[in-house]
């Protein structure tokens, strides 16, 4: 008999406090209305068959075999294999912790979340895969258990990871993270613009593309090194970031969007100070501010010039949305409107 379970989860955007959250400071994150879906069904035989369709990546390069190296816009197999790493680890984890397995399983993933863009595609893959498999194997699928399992898998693959991304993919809405504790919040919906730089400039060495699967890890490590070199100064920057998140929360509760935007601009400045704002993302932010955005900032891990400046920016556009979108597109970004507070994990039996 056919058994088919579908789990879908939202992308995330960090509004305040990325990087600082890794050191226990407060961060505010939201789910946005782009989703990743995992369908698990039975198949003949034994073992797992994983299919990944339709993951939007753009302009990154792929390596074909060992001999033929070529740039191939709009497809990125390096990053597709990175998604497979999260799926493989999720399976291993569930086999070890819960003893699943012993039958043929088909896992199919499709996504509207671009990869390596700071929008939580890795965490989304972990949460949706864990949720669908737990449900399929009739294991307890309460949300907190799924979040914890997914966070363990994400950490096992990428080393240090705060609980921000897996919490958002699981619960949706808004969450505040403080000292690794997750608190869900009710806050008003925002209309944002997200601009993503996905294309590596042609001047950059093609071998760099294979490093993208470790982009967040590498940037987090660089921040650590810089923090150790400027211990006292960084203490003040990190405390300022913590205070900023508290102010932002109050501004959102009051619906004071002009204040919220101003705080985003300050957060961007602090991210620049810790070295995660490459030129190309800086230009998107400055241009948005110049065109009248209430606020603009890098979001997620940010980027590095020596990794092509790939990453995303978040804009609270106020009345200036149309001209900001056009300007970002002209600057070579993939531009999408995003609504905050999207629903979290949805699991359903579809067959």
Footprint of ligand MEV (CB under 6 A): 14, 18-19, 21-22, 118, 161-162, 164-165, 216, 220, 300-301
Q: What is the dihedral of CA 202, 204, 209, 210, to 10 degrees?
A: 150
Taking the complex as a whole, the smallest distance from the CB of residue 171 to ligand MEV amounts, in Å, to 16
By beta-carbon proximity to ligand MEV, the closer residue of 218 and 323 is 218
User: Within 10 A of 243 (CB to CB), how many other CB atoms are there?
Assistant: 14
By beta-carbon proximity to ligand MEV, the closer residue of 22 and 150 is 22
Taking the complex as a whole, the smallest distance from the CB of residue 172 to ligand MEV amounts, in Å, to 16
By beta-carbon proximity to ligand MEV, the closer residue of 220 and 347 is 220
256: annotated active-site residue: no
Residue nearest to ligand MEV (CB): 162
Taking the complex as a whole, the smallest distance from the CB of residue 230 to ligand MEV amounts, in Å, to 18
- Calculate the alpha carbon distances from 315 to 129, 170, 187, 272 in Å: 30, 24, 18, 16
> Distance (Å, rounded) from C-alpha 172 to C-alpha 115?
19
Q: In terms of DSSP bridges, do strands 346-349 and 181-185 run parallel, antiparallel, or are they unpaired?
A: unpaired
DSSP E strands in the chain: the ranges are 4-16, 27-42, 47-53, 62-64, 68-70, 104-111, 174-178, 181-185, 191-197, 295-299, 311-316, 334-339, 346-349
Q: Phi/psi class of residue 6: alpha, beta or left (left: φ > 0; alpha: ψ in -120 to 50)?
A: beta
Residue 29 tokens read as: 């994150």
By beta-carbon proximity to ligand MEV, the closer residue of 162 and 289 is 162
Taking the complex as a whole, the smallest distance from the CB of residue 306 to ligand MEV amounts, in Å, to 17
Q: Phi/psi class of residue 300: alpha, beta or left (left: φ > 0; alpha: ψ in -120 to 50)?
A: left
Taking the complex as a whole, the smallest distance from the CB of residue 245 to ligand MEV amounts, in Å, to 12
**In 3D, which of 31, 323, 10, 7 has the Cα closest to residue 190?**
31
**In 3D, which of 300, 320, 336 has the Cα closest to residue 257?**
320
Q: Phi/psi class of residue 310: alpha, beta or left (left: φ > 0; alpha: ψ in -120 to 50)?
A: beta
By beta-carbon proximity to ligand MEV, the closer residue of 155 and 346 is 155
Taking the complex as a whole, the smallest distance from the CB of residue 161 to ligand MEV amounts, in Å, to 4
Taking the complex as a whole, the smallest distance from the CB of residue 335 to ligand MEV amounts, in Å, to 20
Instruction: Find the catalytic residue in 142, 165, 256, 305.
Output: 165
Query: Contact, 5 vs 349, CB < 8 A?
Result: yes
Longest dimension (CA), the chain: 63
> Distance (Å, rounded) from C-alpha 212 to C-alpha 80?
11
By beta-carbon proximity to ligand MEV, the closer residue of 164 and 270 is 164
By beta-carbon proximity to ligand MEV, the closer residue of 8 and 299 is 299
Residues that are catalytic: 165
């Amino acid at each position: 008999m056919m058994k088919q379970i579908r789990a879908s989860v939202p992308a995330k955007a960090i509004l305040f406090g990325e990087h600082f959250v890794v050191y226990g400071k407060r961060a505010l994150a939201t789910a946005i209305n782009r989703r990743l879906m995992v369908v698990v069904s039975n198949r003949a035989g034994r073992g797992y068959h994983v299919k990944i369709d339709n993951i939007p990546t753009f302009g990154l390069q792929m390596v074909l075999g060992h001999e033929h190296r070529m740039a191939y816009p709009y497809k990125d197999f390096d990053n597709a294999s990175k998604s497979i790493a999260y799926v493989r680890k999720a399976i291993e984890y569930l086999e070890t912790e819960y003893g699943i397995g012993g039958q043929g399983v088909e896992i199919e993933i499709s996504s509207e979340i671009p990869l390596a863009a700071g929008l939580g595609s890795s965490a989304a893959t972990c949460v949706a895969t864990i949720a669908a498999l737990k449900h399929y194997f009739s294991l307890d699928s309460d949300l907190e258990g799924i979040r914890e399992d997914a966070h363990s898998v994400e950490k096992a693959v990428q080393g240090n990871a705060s609980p921000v991304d897996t919490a958002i993919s699981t619960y949706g809405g808004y969450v505040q993270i403080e000292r690794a504790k997750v608190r869900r919040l009710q806050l008003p919906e925002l209309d944002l613009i997200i601009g993503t730089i996905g294309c590596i400039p042609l001047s950059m060495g093609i071998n760099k593309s294979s490093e993208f699967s470790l982009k967040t890890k590498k940037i987090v490590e660089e921040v650590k090194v810089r923090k150790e070199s400027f211990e006292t100064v960084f203490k003040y920057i990190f405390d300022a970031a913590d205070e900023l998140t508290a102010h932002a929360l109050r501004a959102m509760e009051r619906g004071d969007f002009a204040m919220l935007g101003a705080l985003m601009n300050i957060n961007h400045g602090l991210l620049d100070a810790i070295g995660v704002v490459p030129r190309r993302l800086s230009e998107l932010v400055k241009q948005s501010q110049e065109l009248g955005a209430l606020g603009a900032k890098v979001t997620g891990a940010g980027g590095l010039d020596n990794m092509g400046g790939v990453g995303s920016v978040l804009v609270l556009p106020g009345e200036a949305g149309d001209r900001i979108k056009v300007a970002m597109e002209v600057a070579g970004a993939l531009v999408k409107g995003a609504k905050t507070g999207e629903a979290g994990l949805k699991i359903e039996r579809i067959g």
